[in-house]
């Protein structure tokens, strides 16, 4: 099976009230852990690559590893650029075989975001590649911003129809209170489902994307802290909120931090119990198994995309 775009995946996910998992990949063990889990539960996948991942592993290595995963699993897999920051990086990924790119113009005023996003869409569509845009800025808890500034960071539903119509994007990332990383909320987790609902009304049938959607699973944080780590106050998006978003118009849920935590917990535990080990297979193997277990649980119990490949 060749690489696919996310078009069919999103259509089925929207109609079925579930979401596709978009997992960040950086190396072989991460790709194998994710794709082996998806194979076992027959789930479609989006594997996403950040600029940092391309710099770390090199574009060609990641492409070839993903091609190998397709041969190994025969699953529908979409390879996506995560947070493309300008036209050049999007073009480089499109020319280099990606089937989907994100152009993240969310830091610009609306007019410039539309201009840049449309430029990427025009090029991508001429090559059969799909595009994710973003409206609204994901807040970081470390920003220590006050409520009115915070409100300004949420996506404004009044802008979404114009943005989608004028850019021609295939999916839209919105800001409803999630943020990247392992420290998402100071107190009670709260997401603006009212904004998601309003966006859904303005864009019927249109796939919405949720970034910053790791749950920061306590079991992994506890293990990291138990074996020498230091992550007090780590907190993520509760799984029931992700299920609710998936049942609404959210078709793509982005997960990176949970993969990092699972892998780190596996490696820390391994060295705590086997301090004399120095064979990378002995600690990367358990890390890969932790990722596989995590992803399987997400696909089946949170995203609901098992059996949909």
**Residues recognised as catalytic:** 82
Least distance to ligand G3H, CB of residue 64, Å: 19
Q: Which is nearer to ligand G3H, 65 or 309 (CB)?
A: 65
Q: Taking CB under 6 A as the rule, does residue 5 contact ligand 13P?
A: no
What character string, x for contact with ligand G3H (CB under 6 A) and - otherwise, covers 62-91?
Answer: --------------------xx--------
Least distance to ligand G3H, CB of residue 120, Å: 18
Q: Which is nearer to ligand 13P, 55 or 111 (CB)?
A: 55
Distance CA 118, CA 198 (A): 24
Which one of the spans 47-55, 69-77, 84-92, 108-116 is the region binding ligand G3H (CB under 6 A)?
Answer: 47-55
Q: Taking CB under 6 A as the rule, does residue 113 contact ligand 13P?
A: no
Q: Taking CB under 5 A as the rule, does residue 252 contact Zn ion?
A: no
Which one of the spans 112-120, 222-230, 248-256, 264-272 is the region binding ligand 13P (CB under 6 A)?
Answer: 248-256
From the list 81, 92, 76, 89, the residue with the least C-alpha distance to 25 is 81
Q: Which is nearer to ligand G3H, 51 or 75 (CB)?
A: 51
Least distance to ligand 13P, CB of residue 156, Å: 20
Q: Taking CB under 6 A as the rule, does residue 150 contact ligand 13P?
A: no
Interface residue list for ligand G3H (CB under 6 A): 24, 50, 52-53, 82-83, 180, 256
Q: Which residues bind ligand 13P (CB under 6 A)?
A: 24, 82-83, 180-181, 211-214, 254-258
């Amino acid at each position: 099976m060749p690489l696919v775009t996310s078009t069919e995946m999103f259509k089925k996910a929207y109609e079925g009230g579930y979401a596709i998992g978009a997992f960040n990949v950086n190396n072989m063990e991460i790709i194998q852990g994710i794709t082996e889990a998806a194979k076992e539960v027959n789930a479609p996948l989006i594997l996403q690559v950040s600029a940092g991942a391309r710099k770390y592993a090199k574009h060609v290595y990641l492409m070839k590893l993903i091609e190998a995963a397709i041969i190994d699993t025969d699953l529908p897999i979409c390879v996506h650029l995560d947070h493309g920051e300008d036209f050049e990086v999007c073009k480089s990924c499109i020319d280099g075989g990606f089937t989907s790119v994100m152009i993240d113009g969310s830091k610009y005023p609306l007019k410039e975001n539309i201009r840049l996003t449309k430029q990427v869409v025009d090029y991508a569509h001429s090559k059969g590649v799909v595009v994710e845009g973003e409206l609204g800025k994901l807040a970081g808890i470390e920003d220590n911003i006050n409520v009115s500034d915070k409100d300004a960071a949420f996506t404004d539903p009044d802008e979404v129809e114009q943005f989608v119509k004028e850019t021609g994007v295939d999916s839209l990332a919105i800001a409803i209170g999630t943020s990247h990383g392992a420290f998402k909320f100071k107190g009670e987790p709260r997401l603006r489902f009212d904004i998601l609902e309003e966006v859904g009304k303005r864009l019927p049938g249109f796939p919405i994307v949720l970034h910053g959607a790791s749950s920061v699973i306590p079991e992994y944080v506890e293990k990291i802290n138990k074996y020498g780590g230091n992550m007090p106050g780590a907190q993520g998006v509760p799984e029931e909120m992700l299920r609710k978003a998936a049942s609404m118009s959210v078709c793509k849920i982005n997960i990176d931090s949970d993969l990092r935590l699972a892998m780190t917990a596996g490696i820390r535990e391994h060295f705590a119990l086997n301090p004399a080990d120095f064979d990378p297979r002995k600690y990367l193997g358990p890390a890969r198994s932790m990722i596989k277990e995590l992803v399987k649980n997400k696909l089946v119990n949170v995203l609901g995309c098992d059996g949909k490949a």
